[in-house]
Amino acid sequence: MTSRLRHSILFALLALLCGQSPAAGLSKPNIVLILADDLGYGDLSCYGATKVSTPRIDRLAKEGMRFTDAHSASAVCSPTRYGILTGRYPWRHPALAYGVLAHDAPMSIGPDEPTIARLLKSAGYATACVGKWHLGWGNPKPDWNAELHPAPVDAGFDYYFGMPNANTMEPLVFIENRRVVGLDPSDPIRVLGNTKMEGGTAARVTHGEIDSQHVAKARAWLRQHQADAPVRPFFLYLPLVSIHAPQLANARFKGMNQVGIRGEFLAEHDWAVGEILDELDRLGLREDTLVVYSSDNGGLDAGQFKPVGGCFKNYGHSMNGVLRGMKSDAWEGGHRVPMIVRWPGHTPPGAVSDALVSLNDLFVTFASVGGVELPPERPTDSKDITPVLKAPGATARDFAHHASYQGIIALREGD
C-alpha cells in the first residue's frame, strides 16, 4: 500500500468516525476564483444579454450574489491580474503603469512580495493556479527551453499549469510548474517577437483546445487534492483564456449563440465555468467553498482583431451593455465588469449588490475568510468586502481607481 493511499484511507476513516463527509466541517472555506478574459458587462444573460445564453453562469448568479458596480483595477490584462494577487494598484509597479507585459517580460511579482497565494499557503491552504498567467516569467528574460525561475510556483502556488501569456502571444504552449509541456529538446523554441515562433513543434497548442485543457487540469487537481488531503482547505485560481481574441472556440461549440465567433467562445466559457461548479458538487465541496467569478477587464469590439470587431454592428450584441468605452479605456466599459460570489451560508441566494467593489478587494477578503493575519506591509489598495457578501446593502469602499491601457487614471466615486 502506497503512502498516498494510506493517507487517503486515514482521512476517510476519520471523516466517517466524525459522521461527516470528507469535505464537511472545514474550519476555513475553500476558495475558487474563476477569471474570464475580456468578458464585458453585457456579455452574460444574467447581466441582460439577449443574443447569448450563459445558463451555467446564470445558475451561479441565482445561487449567489451578483454585483452591479464591480471594477477591475485596469482596463487591460496584466495590471488587473497583478492587482488581484497582490492587492496593490498596478500603477504602483513601474512595469504595469500602462500597457501589458510583453511575451518575454520578467516576473513582475517580487520574491518577497505578499500575494494572496503566499498568505493562504502560510495559513495551511493548498494552492494552485491553472490558466493564463501573463505576469512575467524568469529574470531577466524567460528561457522557454529550460526550467523557468521564477515562475508562478515561486509566487505562492504549489502547482501551476497553463498558458504563459495571452493566447495572441508566442510561445503558444502550456507550462506545467517550471517547464514547457511536451517540448522536444532537439527542436528548441525560438520566439521572435510577440507573435512569431519557430521550433517547439511538439509543444505547440491548438487554440480550440486551450480552455478544455485548463478545465481538465483544474478538475484533476481538485480530485487529487481531495484524495490526498480532504480536510485541508484549498485556493484554486482559474484564469481562463476565454473570451480573448482570436476567439477560436472548440469545434463542438460551433453555431452556438447568435453573435458569431464571440458567441461560440462565450458558450465554451460558460461550459468551462459549469464544469468546475459541477466538479465541486461531485466532490461534495459546494457548501465549504467560496466561489468568485469575474473578468479582468471589459470587452473589446474594435477592428484591430478582425473578425472579432463589429459584434454590435453585425449582431446587435453590446458586450459592455450600456457602458461607454471598451477594453483599454478609462471609461466604464473598460473596467466595469461582471462579478458573482457564491458562499453558501453567507451570501443570500439570488441577491444583487450595488456596492462599489474592486477586484483588488479580493486580496484582503480572501485573507479575511481564510483567517490569515496580514503582514505589516499590507497594501492599502484592498478592502475587506465580507460584510457586503453577507448583506447586499452593505458597503466596503467609497472610491476606486482604474487605469487605462495608456496609463490614464480614472476615479470611481459616488453615484
Distance, in Å, from the CA atom of 83 to the CA atom of 362, rounded to the nearest integer, reads 9
Helix (H, G, I), strand (E, B) or coil at 208: helix
Q: What whole-number distance in Å separates Cα of residue 277 and Cα of residue 258?
A: 25
CA angle 111, 113, 118 (to 5 degrees): 90
Give, in degrees to the nearest 5, the angle at Cα 163 between 162 and 167.
145
| C-beta of residue 249 within 8 angstroms of C-beta of residue 242 | yes
Catalytic residues: 77, 134
Query: Which cell numbers hold the place of 277?
Result: 461548479
- Distance from C-alpha of 135 to C-alpha of 131, rounded to nearest angstrom: 12
Question: Which residues, in sequence order, are bridge partners of residue 351?
Answer: 65
Q: Which residues contact 279 (CB under 8 A, 6 or more apart)?
A: 218, 219, 222, 223
Determine how many CB atoms are found less than 10 A away from the CB of residue 194.
14
Q: Are 357 and 340 in contact (CB under 8 A)?
A: no
Reading phi first (left if > 0) and then psi (alpha if -120 to 50, else beta), residue 48 is in left
